[in-house]
Structure 1
Amino acid sequence: MNQQKRRQIFERLQAADPSPTTELHYETTFQLLIAVILSAQATDKSVNLATAKFFPAHGTPQGLVDLGLERLTDYIKTIGLYKTKAQNVLKTCHILLEQYGGEVPEDREALEALPGVGRKTANVVLNTAFGHPTIAVDTHIFRVANRTGLAPGKNVLEVERKLEKYIPKEFLQDAHHWLILHGRYICVARTPKCPQCGIADLCDYKHKTPPR
Structure 2
Amino acid sequence: MNKDKRREIFQRLRDHNPAPTTELEYTTAFELLVAVVLSAQATDRGVNKATARLFPVANTPEAILALGEDGLKEHIKTIGLFNSKASNIMKLCRMLVDRHGGEVPRTRGELEALPGVGRKTANVILNTAFGQPTMAVDTHIYRVANRTGLAPGKTVREVEDRLVRWTPKEFLHDAHHWLILHGRYVCVARKPRCGACVIHDLCEYRDKTEE
- Which runs of no fewer than 5 residues in structure 2 stay unpaired? none
| SS at structure 1 position matched to 2:135 | coil
Amino acid at match of 1:149: G
Determine the C-alpha separation between the residues in 1 that align with 2:139 and 2:78: 21
Amino acid at match of 1:108: R
- Find out whether 1:19 has 2:19 as its counterpart: yes
Which runs of structure 2 are paired with 1:13-162 in the superposition (5 Å)? Answer: 13-162=13-162
Amino acid at match of 1:138: D
Determine the C-alpha separation between the residues in 1 that align with 2:170 and 2:41: 30
Amino acid at match of 1:159: V
Computed over aligned residues only, the root mean square deviation of the Cα atoms, in angstroms, reads 0.6
Displacement of 1:210 in angstroms is 1.8
Determine the C-alpha separation between the residues in 1 that align with 2:8 and 2:54: 42
Displacement of 1:76 in angstroms is 1.0
Partner of 1:184: 184
Partner of 1:4: 4
Q: Deviations over 1:149-188 (max 9, x none)?
A: 0000001000000001110010000000000000000000
Displacement of 1:71 in angstroms is 1.5
Contact 2:54 2:76 in 1 (8 A): no
Determine the C-alpha separation between the residues in 2 that align with 1:210 and 1:186: 12
Determine the C-alpha separation between the residues in 2 that align with 1:73 and 1:181: 29
Amino acid at match of 1:96: L
Determine the C-alpha separation between the residues in 1 that align with 2:113 and 2:56: 27
- Which runs of no fewer than 5 residues in structure 1 stay unpaired? none
Determine the C-alpha separation between the residues in 2 that align with 1:14 and 1:61: 36
Displacement of 1:42 in angstroms is 0.7
Determine the C-alpha separation between the residues in 2 that align with 1:168 and 1:54: 39
Determine the C-alpha separation between the residues in 1 that align with 2:44 and 2:155: 23
Normalised TM-score (structure 1): 0.98
Q: Deviations over 1:88-111 (max 9, x none)?
A: 001000000011110000010000
Contact 2:30 2:60 in 1 (8 A): yes
Displacement of 1:57 in angstroms is 2.0
Percent identity over the alignment is: 64
Amino acid at match of 2:207: H
Determine the C-alpha separation between the residues in 1 that align with 2:210 and 2:33: 40
Contact 2:73 2:86 in 1 (8 A): yes
Task: Spell out structure 1 runs of 4+ moving beyond 3 A.
Answer: none
Determine the C-alpha separation between the residues in 1 that align with 2:100 and 2:132: 20
| SS at structure 1 position matched to 2:56 | helix
Partner of 1:203: 203
Amino acid at match of 2:72: L
